[in-house]
Amino acid sequence: MSTRIEKLRSLLVDEAVDCLLVTGETDVRYLSGFTGDSSYLLVSADRCAILTDRRYETQIEAECGGIESFVRGPERTMTQLVAEAVDDFSAATIGLDANDVSWALLEGLRSALPQQTFAATNGLVLKLRQIKEPEEIETIRRAVRIAEQTFQAIRATLRRGQTELEIAHDVEKWIRYFGGEGCGFATIAAIGPNAALPHAQPGERRVGDDPALLLDWGARYNGYTSDLTRMTAIGAPSPEMAEIYPVVLEAQLAAIAAIRPGAELKAVDAAARNVIRDAGFGDYFGHGLGHGIGLQVHESPRMSAITEGTLQAGMVVTVEPGIYLPGKLGVRIEDDVLVTENGHEVLSSLPKGLDDCTVIL
């Protein structure tokens, strides 16, 4: 963790602040290893301290060895603890991530520290989190493998009459069975017309009501999540699915082929979007191509038609084009892809040909 803090300090050199108050729970975990909540991290050029409460005194000793701590009791607020730590650091200007800090927190800090100045920073820790370290990549590999085992179990136990909610429940069960901590995010199990909703909520539609089942799921392992989507055709694909599935697959493969260090984010998106547009379905692909994954399911970088920036080795991104026909069905195919020094590696390996989708019940 000390290496990550040193990398953060190198970014702080270009910021006009004496220290950075890290308030995002995921950022605190990334920098310190602390897995609890309700805690902040204060980082300066030569010091780093975790700010927490007495519930976590023993935990921070176990998880955050080498990081000093400021601990409050029930008679004090977190704002008061921040004020104590800032005074101890002799900091005059405190950086705050504009993406994480609420107006209420900012006003509370200004009230508690009237002599200090606060400055906005923009996703400094998130920039570090974009590039995965080798151990992070191996953890994501494990999360992908658990997700794949889960999908195979779902397919093997799928039955007619099973509801979307029951399928989503089974996903959680199998992820834990195969060694995961649970779902990386709320599972999307969508049958028929519900699959035309990119972020559908599982409901009471049943297997057999329609041939198409879209499953978007991920496993969380040691804090890191995978994110996959696969289609299932019950009995045989419908004519609409048979028409649009090959288009989505071609689009996904084109985008994956474009992934390499230095590739523009919007160019990778365009590789998929152009395939779908040329097939006549451009109006039915209404979201970005993909996003980074890690400690959170949605991280930087984002790949969309308007995103600036380039891919870098060590990033792990989803590639998930889709076509959504309102009132009929949606088809999305999603894999997790590592950007390597020489190109890319698809971390997920579940078959995704149209024939692979068919299940006879």
Question: What percent of the chain stands above pLDDT 70?
Answer: 100
| pLDDT reading at 2 higher than 90 | no
184-189 mean pLDDT: 98
Kindly report the pTM of this predicted structure: 0.95
- pLDDT score at 55: 95
Beta carbons of 332 and 214 less than 8 angstroms apart: yes
Using left for φ > 0, alpha for ψ between -120 and 50, and beta otherwise, residue 340 falls in: beta
Q: What is the pLDDT of residues 226-285, one digit of tens each?
A: 999 999 999 999 999 999 999 999 999 999 999 999 999 999 999 999 999 999 999 999
Query: Residue 360's pLDDT band (boundaries 50, 70, 90)?
Result: confident
Query: Residue 58's pLDDT band (boundaries 50, 70, 90)?
Result: very high
Q: Which residues contact 287 (CB under 8 A, 6 or more apart)?
A: 198, 304, 322
Beta carbons of 193 and 328 less than 8 angstroms apart: yes
284-309 mean pLDDT: 98
Helix (H, G, I), strand (E, B) or coil at 239: helix
| pLDDT reading at 361 higher than 90 | no
Query: Residue 323's pLDDT band (boundaries 50, 70, 90)?
Result: very high
* Backbone torsions φ then ψ of 228, nearest 5 degrees: -130, 155
Instruction: Identify which of 239, 44, 227 has the alpha carbon closest to the alpha carbon of residue 151.
Output: 227
The mean predicted confidence, pLDDT, of the chain is 97
Question: What percent of the chain stands above pLDDT 90?
Answer: 98
Q: What is the pLDDT of residues 96-127, one digit of tens each?
A: 999 999 999 999 999 999 999 999 999 999 99
Q: What is the pLDDT of residues 133-172, one digit of tens each?
A: 999 999 999 999 999 999 999 999 999 999 999 999 999 9
For tokens 């979201």, name the residue.
Answer: 287
Query: Residue 80's pLDDT band (boundaries 50, 70, 90)?
Result: very high
- pLDDT score at 66: 83
159-187 mean pLDDT: 98
End-to-end CA distance of the chain: 50
81-103 mean pLDDT: 95
Q: Which token pair is 20?
A: 């950075």
- pLDDT score at 101: 93
Domains of the chain plus CATH, in order, are 3-128 (3.40.350.10), 134-359 (3.90.230.10)
| pLDDT reading at 306 higher than 80 | yes
